[in-house]
């Protein structure tokens, strides 16, 4: 009789293109998900991610039930639970998708030792990335620190293998576990009330997204325009592994998406972020450029709160922050604008923005979030120069020319003419009255003038360089 196996779902909540499930080969299996907030510590799922996870697990369980299995749900230290479950069902092997977060790598090493001592195998499969980050090296055998040569190296490896089909049936083992509601993942109150209007978590939702995206005819021309649906919207589905990078890659290629090279480069930015995290596990907390440890940040709870609430007085910034709060997501161009405003105009530490995004993004991803914030702050690998400071008015006028984005998310400004929409403080009183706006009451004045914010940021940068000399 074939010995059973335990399959541990983690960041690969799908059946299609899941190498671990494929490797089961029809063996009896217990299919497990463990919510282990203790091991993740500070980087346990944020509030928006928890909403997504609840619905993703529900969808996964339904998909498993349709194939003769069910999802066993547990909560607590996986380092204890996984070996105990393996023992309970007499599993010869535990299989899972490989994780790259520092805390997960440490936990997996401990689990591997425990299972080995009991005579059981622990096999990790590549389920989340196109290529394992530790295998990509420069010609001198070192990790990459610049995106462009990294992306060239990955493109040179050729097309990734085609995705694996989902198993038609699974020989699931029944074992008592927790009901999904026992994980208490859903937020209290109505914070996430609008999320369902924007998202359909689960593998089927991911398939709908990729089908809709591949119908976009000009991704390269639309990806920077937040007022239209010009991006894939796949980031949360990738974050939870409801679709694999290989599926996305091949779908874009097969559909002949205009600008597919541009889109695939975005997939490789995600790979680059994990490459950095693998080699610099301190990246979520520590600037990759050591000189920035001396940067003279000016923490200010009031400024941080105004930014979080979308009340900075800069419409494009406020629209982004309100979109984030209400939908759990923000357009990538606007992420750069809002992040630059926080760390440069307001001189708030990039880690404060990283923490807020982590809690409020449904696609909160440790590697991508940390790498992106360090890029904007100028302290990361291949980062934008610190002195490159986004001008929020110019950014709004360039990428939200007709004001559709600002009018949607900052409705109190909706009646302003286009020429004043991104700078309402310049509108004459008669225009403001006609639009029903009292600046300082209905909508704030700018929290800081752009010129002043830019000058402060450059002075802080100069001070840091002087201290480092």
Identify whether the C-beta of residue 369 lies closer than 8 Å to the C-beta of residue 239.
Answer: no
Identify whether the C-beta of residue 40 lies closer than 8 Å to the C-beta of residue 103.
Answer: yes
Could you give the count of Cα atoms lying within 13 Å of 20 in the half-sphere of its Cβ?
A: 30
Distance CA 284, CA 370 (A): 5
Distance CA 425, CA 314 (A): 10
Cβ neighbours of residue 195 under 8 Å, at least 6 residues apart?
48, 51, 327, 328, 362
Distance CA 259, CA 368 (A): 22
Residue with tokens 């009451």: 441
Examine the residue annotation and report whether 278 is marked as an active-site residue of this protein: no
Identify whether the C-beta of residue 346 lies closer than 8 Å to the C-beta of residue 303.
Answer: yes
- Exposed e or buried b per residue across 170-195, where buried means at least 16 C-beta atoms within 10 angstroms of its C-beta: bbbbeeebeebeebebeeeeebbeeb
Q: One of 132, 191, 269, 425 is an active-site residue; which one?
A: 269
Q: One of 103, 278, 358, 373 is an active-site residue; which one?
A: 373
Residue with tokens 């349709």: 66
Q: Is the dihedral of CA 458, 460, 466, 469 positive or negative?
A: negative
Q: One of 132, 297, 397, 412 is an active-site residue; which one?
A: 297
Q: One of 132, 191, 224, 266 is an active-site residue; which one?
A: 266
Distance CA 210, CA 212 (A): 5
Token pair listed for 444: 């704030």
Please state, in angstroms and as integers, the Cα–Cα distance from residue 50 to each residue in 33, 158, 187, 188, 455, following that order.
Answer: 14, 36, 8, 12, 40
Examine the residue annotation and report whether 269 is marked as an active-site residue of this protein: yes
Q: One of 132, 191, 332, 412 is an active-site residue; which one?
A: 332
Gap between the terminal Cα atoms of the chain: 70
Q: One of 8, 278, 350, 358 is an active-site residue; which one?
A: 350
Examine the residue annotation and report whether 18 is marked as an active-site residue of this protein: no
**β-pair partners for 444:** none
Distance CA 212, CA 229 (A): 10
Examine the residue annotation and report whether 266 is marked as an active-site residue of this protein: yes
Please state, in angstroms and as integers, the Cα–Cα distance from residue 465 to each residue in 178, 216, 290, 462, following that order.
Answer: 55, 45, 11, 5
Known catalytic residues are: 266, 269, 297, 332, 350, 373
């Amino acid at each position: 009789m074939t010995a059973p196996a335990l399959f541990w779902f983690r960041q690969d909540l799908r059946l299609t293109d899941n190498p671990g499930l494929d490797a089961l080969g029809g063996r009896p299996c217990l299919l497990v998900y463990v919510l282990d907030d203790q091991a993740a510590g500070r980087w346990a799922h944020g509030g928006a991610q928890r909403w997504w996870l609840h619905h993703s697990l529900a969808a996964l369980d339904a998909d498993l039930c349709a194939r003769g299995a069910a999802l066993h749900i547990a909560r607590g230290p996986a380092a204890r639970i996984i070996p105990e479950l393996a023992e309970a069902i007499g599993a010869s092997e535990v299989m899972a998708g490989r994780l790259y977060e520092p805390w997960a790598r440490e936990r997996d090493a401990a689990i591997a030792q425990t299972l080995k001592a009991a005579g059981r195998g622990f096999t990790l499969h590549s389920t989340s990335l196109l290529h394992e980050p530790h295998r990509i090296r420069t010609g001198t055998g070192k990790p990459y620190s610049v995106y462009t040569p990294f992306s060239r190296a990955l493109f040179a490896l050729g097309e990734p293998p085609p995705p694996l089909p989902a198993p038609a049936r699974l020989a699931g083992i029944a074992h008592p576990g927790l009901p999904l509601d026992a994980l208490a993942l859903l937020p209290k109150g109505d914070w996430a009330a609008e999320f369902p209007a924007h998202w359909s978590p689960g593998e089927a939702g991911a398939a709908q997204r990729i089908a809709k995206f591949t119908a976009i005819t000009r991704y390269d021309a639309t990806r920077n325009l937040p007022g239209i649906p010009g991006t894939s919207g796949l980031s949360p589905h990738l974050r939870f592994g409801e679709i694999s990078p290989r599926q996305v890659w091949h779908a874009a290629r097969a559909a002949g998406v205009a600008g597919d090279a541009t889109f695939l480069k975005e997939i490789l930015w995600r790979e680059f972020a994990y490459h950095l995290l693998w080699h610099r596990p301190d990246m979520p907390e520590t600037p990759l450029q050591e000189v920035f440890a001396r940067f003279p940040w000016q923490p200010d709870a009031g400024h941080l709160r105004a930014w979080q609430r979308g009340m900075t007085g800069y419409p494009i910034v406020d629209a982004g922050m309100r979109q984030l709060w209400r939908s759990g997501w923000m357009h990538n161009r606007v992420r750069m604008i809002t992040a630059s405003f926080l760390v440069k105009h307001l001189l708030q530490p990039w880690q404060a923005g990283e923490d807020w995004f982590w809690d409020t993004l449904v696609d909160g991803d440790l590697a991508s979030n940390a790498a992106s914030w360090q890029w904007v702050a100028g302290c990361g690998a291949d980062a934008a120069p610190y002195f490159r400071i986004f001008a929020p008015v110019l950014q709004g006028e360039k990428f939200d020319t007709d004001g559709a984005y600002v009018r949607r998310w900052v409705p109190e400004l909706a009646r302003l003419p286009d020429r004043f929409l991104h700078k309402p403080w310049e509108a004459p009183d008669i225009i403001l009255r006609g639009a029903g706006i009292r600046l300082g009451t209905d909508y704030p004045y700018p929290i800081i003038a752009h010129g002043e914010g830019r000058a402060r940021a450059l002075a802080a940068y100069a001070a840091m360089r002087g201290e480092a000399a």
